[in-house]
Structure 1
Amino acid sequence: MKKVAKGAGISFIGSVTGRCLFFALQVIIARFFSTEVFGLFTLGLTVTRIAELIARLGLHMGTMRFVSIYRKDDVGKLKGILISAPLISFSNGILIGGLIYFFAGTIAESIFYKPALTNVIKNFALAVPFMSSMTIIAMASQGFHTARFSVYIKDIIQPSANIVFVILFIKLGYAVSGIVFAFTLSYVTAVLAGFFFITRQFPIIKKRDIKPVYEIRKLLSYSTPLLFNGFLAFLILWTNTLMLGYMKTPREVGVYRAASQVPIFLTLILTAFNSIYAPAIADMYHRGQMGRLGKIFKTTTRWVFLLTLPFTLILIFSAGEILTIFGRDYIKEGIPVLRIIAIAQFINCATGGVAFTLTMTGKQKTDMINNMVMVVVNVALNYFLIPKYGCLGAAIATGISIGTVNFSRLWEVYFIYKIQPYNMSYMPGIACGTIGIIILYTLDKYFLVEEYLLINNYLLNHATLIKLVSNGLVVCIIFVVGFIIKGFREEDRFVLDAITKKFKSNIFKLKVE
């Protein structure tokens, strides 16, 4: 359990780092190019993600599983997996990438009705084999029961290389083709780094006297059924982008992409607490300790609620200032999108680890149905809302679908297990939030900088900084005072101790290893 906890913590730190680096990459692209170019880049990336998902064939999960099984007892089969899985994925990536390249014009003109997208898709197609094989190699590394090499490959090296190559091609005067080529080169770099790390973990792979034993049929029979789960996850994340690209202009795709990326950072808090909560669920459920499980469910959810609420308020009341990071062209249409998605992600966080509560107690099919319903609701709402409201309609569709699925999960957990995460201990947080809304609304009313933002295109200027700092200070003071007045409950101290111990050990391990 200790090793699992450390691995989960390292994965979380890597996920935060990778997400920040990818966010920085998108800011760079948005700042140096138009909203149309950023939108075309986003659509090309979406098509490429679909191609990579097909090329991967679910092998990332199969590779991790069989590497974990064979790593100690069967060197030949382990070597066979480490050779065959990336090779199959790379070969399939060449095939799928080739098809995407060949049909790029059809996809761009007949599906998205955007001829300018043709060359973007063609350039992205070159990345498909490297994307799929990088994921396989990273997950193979995790099969050795260590997360750090996987973090290095996919969360640090690839996004860092991407930023470096993008800046280089911008300096050389390239436009969208340079951005996409930089994307491909970053995955080539990550694949090479991945092979280096794999040979470090399993050095005897280079020895010719050890014959690889290939179990391709067994590997594929386990992996390919997981494609459905992958597609479901993809649709949850990318449906809005695809439908915006189909129904609207690249400009609206770019605005939506920029505005929707910021609130996703709220989910990092939920991810952190789920890494503590999830491992305990199955054990307590198995022992029949539902009362204790209910208490931890309440405590972790309340902490996520209290920590995400202040950041949500800052996002809502500083939306325009935050969007200046991308440029003035994103502000006017992006503000309502950012606010709606911030509220949606807050609802997602405020329901806590409700999805894990279902899946870790044997109700995986129930939650899979929840996800399918979420996709159907999202597609239907996008179909009706995007033609009339554009990127705002996509945001509304996202908000309603996220709210629907999370409230459904809450009801299911209560109906099945008679537990729910809410009680009167939330009232101090709600009171602080209400006070914060009143003060921030008043400041927003008398401290208007939106017109200033729309006529200035600086990355950050004194007006935006003053507004951001003032909003942040107001929220921090309100919630800190609220915590001091209310004090900590006994279960709060338990959670604080768990967080402190876990992340101290993870940071130390990262430094040492």
Structure 2
Amino acid sequence: MVAFLFKLTGVAIGYLFFYVLADYYGTEGVGVFSTLWTILLFCIIFAKLGFDTSIVKYIAGFYGQKKFSFIKIIYRKGVFIILLAGTIITLLVFAFSNQISLLFFENSDYSFFIFLVGLLTIPMAIINYNAESLKSLKNITGFSILQNGTIYIVMLMFLFILNHYSFSADNIIYSLCLTFAVLIPLSFLMISNSFSRRLKRQDVHSETFSLKNKDILQTTFPMFLSSFLFFILSWTDILMLSYYLPESDVGVYSMASKIAAVNTLVLVAVNSIAMPKFAEIFERNDKSLFRNFIKQSTLLVFIFSFPVLILIMLFPSEILQVFGTEFAEGKNTLLILAAGQFFSAFSGSTINILNMCGREKAAQYILIFSSIPNILLNYFLIPVYGIEGAAIATSATLILWNLLAVLVIYRKFGFLTFPFNVKFKK
């Protein structure tokens, strides 16, 4: 419940942030921020190398086995590898900032902002990693505080202050830098408190930590690939729109995408609680409990998502116009994206289930298979249909990979993740 309330508040703050962004800077400002944010997300995938996902599995496993000292060891190893990988990514972004600016903005005016994106790679990767570690330790409040909602509200605070002294679109990226300067020490403070409160007990078994870096990376690498491929599926539209169309069109699409994502609000909140639980119940080998927990989770998501879909279908233009009349042109885009997001909500936590239950490679293959049509559809449809083409490509591949994951789970575990009982005749 705490995670859901935080997520709900975070979404509300997120829309407030984009409302202010649209009010201050219009569709172009929203488009520039969305492009820079997407580039940052791309960078942190390579900085984290999948450790933000694997740490959930490791901590949940060690906690259940009462190997509390192992939790601190695996956490520190993850921090070290993220710092190492993040440094390499940062240096690469520094070196090619001018070329990246030319690629997405058709000029070098934004090269300094790209440079700052490189600078923010390690802080954001660490914040994500600490958030997932807190979730694994069942500190849902701490995990929820480190989500995008907090980033947006702190950014808004700094944006108001900076614009008070000197109004400029540059203040968007400066406020993001100041926000991470606040959240990094806060995240480490919460980790320290969580470790001291939850890991006081002695290990039940006096074993030596035997996992080598090679073994850890072998577990983590498929999760990194899944994260990378998931990024391709989720953000190719923004990057390719930035390449083909003006920033104003990217801004309209980004706003439609944000609104459509409300369909999966509860899914994300459920995932924040359920991911460690998936691994824990699976390890118990209680098939009935495992099935019921997944179906109940998906039913909860469906109950909240269906009314959102109906609302979007009935009032797409009116919802978009809340952020400015120029956003109303994204009506059809919003309808297409909402349909795809609803199918994702109806399918449940498919990829997370596979990742938490020893089927990382299956998840990886699904995302690889789905990313190819995603790139091709965006490539062919955007030049012809613009932002609606990107919406068609995104929704089609979203439905594809969720459907494939549902079928793999059915084959591996004998049930469908849909909220209602559906049986195939044998």
Q: SS of 1:116's equivalent?
A: coil
Distance 2:355 2:5 in 1: 24
AA partner of residue 238 (structure 2): T
Q: Which residue of 1 aligns with 2:325?
A: 328
Distance 1:195 1:420 in 2: 36
Distance 1:223 1:414 in 2: 25
Confirm or deny: 8 A CA contact 1:41 1:120 kept in the other structure. no
Confirm or deny: 8 A CA contact 2:234 2:394 kept in the other structure. no
Distance 1:367 1:223 in 2: 13
Confirm or deny: 8 A CA contact 1:25 1:163 kept in the other structure. yes
Q: Which residue of 1 aligns with 2:309?
A: 312
- Could you say if the C-alpha distance between residues 203 and 360 of structure 1 is closer, same or farther in structure 2, counting changes exceeding 3 Å? closer
Confirm or deny: 8 A CA contact 1:123 1:177 kept in the other structure. no
Distance 2:147 2:174 in 1: 18
1:350-397 CA-to-partner distances (Å, cap 9, x unmatched) read: 344565676677655444333223221211111110001111110111
Mean alpha-carbon deviation: is it higher for 252-261 or for 30-39? 30-39
Q: TM-score, normalised by structure 1?
A: 0.67
AA partner of residue 391 (structure 2): A
Q: SS of 2:111's equivalent?
A: helix
Q: Does 1:342 align with 2:338?
A: yes
- Could you say if the C-alpha distance between residues 421 and 35 of structure 1 is closer, same or farther in structure 2, counting changes exceeding 3 Å? closer
Q: CA deviation at 1:130?
A: 1.3
AA partner of residue 154 (structure 1): Q
- Could you say if the C-alpha distance between residues 36 and 273 of structure 1 is closer, same or farther in structure 2, counting changes exceeding 3 Å? closer
Calculate percent identity across the aligned residue pairs.
24
Q: Which residue of 1 aligns with 2:26?
A: 34
Distance 2:274 2:75 in 1: 31
Confirm or deny: 8 A CA contact 2:48 2:86 kept in the other structure. yes
Distance 1:256 1:348 in 2: 19
Confirm or deny: 8 A CA contact 1:263 1:342 kept in the other structure. yes
- Could you say if the C-alpha distance between residues 158 and 318 of structure 1 is closer, same or farther in structure 2, counting changes exceeding 3 Å? same
Of 245, 249, 252 in structure 2, the residue corresponding to residue 248 of structure 1 is 245
AA partner of residue 122 (structure 2): P
Q: How does 1:133-148 map to 2 (within 5 A)?
A: 133-148=126-141
Of 358, 366, 388 in structure 1, the residue corresponding to residue 384 of structure 2 is 388
Confirm or deny: 8 A CA contact 1:17 1:156 kept in the other structure. yes
Distance 1:78 1:280 in 2: 16
Distance 1:386 1:55 in 2: 30
Q: SS of 1:245's equivalent?
A: helix
Distance 2:303 2:338 in 1: 15
Distance 1:245 1:409 in 2: 30
Q: Does 1:217 align with 2:213?
A: yes
1:75-98 CA-to-partner distances (Å, cap 9, x unmatched) read: 5x7666565644553454344223
AA partner of residue 319 (structure 2): I
Of 92, 96, 99 in structure 2, the residue corresponding to residue 106 of structure 1 is 99
Q: CA deviation at 1:193?
A: 0.8
Q: SS of 2:166's equivalent?
A: coil
Q: CA deviation at 1:284?
A: 12
Distance 2:357 2:78 in 1: 31
Q: How does 1:218-297 map to 2 (within 5 A)?
A: 222-271=219-268, 279=278, 286-287=285-286, 289=288, 293=291, 297=295
Q: CA deviation at 1:64?
A: 5.2
Distance 1:380 1:109 in 2: 22
- Could you say if the C-alpha distance between residues 419 and 130 of structure 1 is closer, same or farther in structure 2, counting changes exceeding 3 Å? closer
Of 166, 175, 180 in structure 1, the residue corresponding to residue 173 of structure 2 is 180
Confirm or deny: 8 A CA contact 1:30 1:326 kept in the other structure. yes
Mean alpha-carbon deviation: is it higher for 280-289 or for 140-149? 280-289
Confirm or deny: 8 A CA contact 2:263 2:305 kept in the other structure. yes
Higher normalized contact order (CA 8 Å, seq sep 6+, divided by chain length):
2
Of 49, 55, 58 in structure 2, the residue corresponding to residue 57 of structure 1 is 49
Q: SS of 1:326's equivalent?
A: coil
Q: CA deviation at 1:44?
A: 1.3
Distance 2:6 2:223 in 1: 24
Of 78, 85, 90 in structure 2, the residue corresponding to residue 97 of structure 1 is 90
Q: CA deviation at 1:321?
A: 1.4
Q: Which residue of 1 aligns with 2:205?
A: none
AA partner of residue 391 (structure 1): I
AA partner of residue 265 (structure 1): V
Q: TM-score, normalised by structure 2?
A: 0.79
Q: SS of 2:146's equivalent?
A: helix
Q: SS of 2:139's equivalent?
A: coil
Distance 1:201 1:420 in 2: 33
Q: Which residue of 2 aligns with 1:131?
A: 124
- Could you say if the C-alpha distance between residues 321 and 177 of structure 1 is closer, same or farther in structure 2, counting changes exceeding 3 Å? same
Mean alpha-carbon deviation: is it higher for 381-390 or for 369-378? 369-378
1:14-71 CA-to-partner distances (Å, cap 9, x unmatched) read: 3333333333222221221032222122111111212222222333345556666499
Of 158, 162, 169 in structure 2, the residue corresponding to residue 165 of structure 1 is 158
AA partner of residue 251 (structure 1): S
Distance 1:52 1:321 in 2: 35
- Could you say if the C-alpha distance between residues 73 and 103 of structure 1 is closer, same or farther in structure 2, counting changes exceeding 3 Å? same
Confirm or deny: 8 A CA contact 2:242 2:250 kept in the other structure. yes
- Could you say if the C-alpha distance between residues 220 and 20 of structure 1 is closer, same or farther in structure 2, counting changes exceeding 3 Å? farther
- Could you say if the C-alpha distance between residues 26 and 294 of structure 1 is closer, same or farther in structure 2, counting changes exceeding 3 Å? same
Confirm or deny: 8 A CA contact 1:104 1:119 kept in the other structure. yes
Aligned-CA RMSD value = 4.0
Mean alpha-carbon deviation: is it higher for 389-398 or for 22-31? 22-31
Q: CA deviation at 1:169?
A: 1.8
Q: SS of 1:33's equivalent?
A: helix
Larger Rg: 1
Confirm or deny: 8 A CA contact 1:39 1:250 kept in the other structure. yes
Distance 1:300 1:141 in 2: 21
Confirm or deny: 8 A CA contact 2:3 2:269 kept in the other structure. no
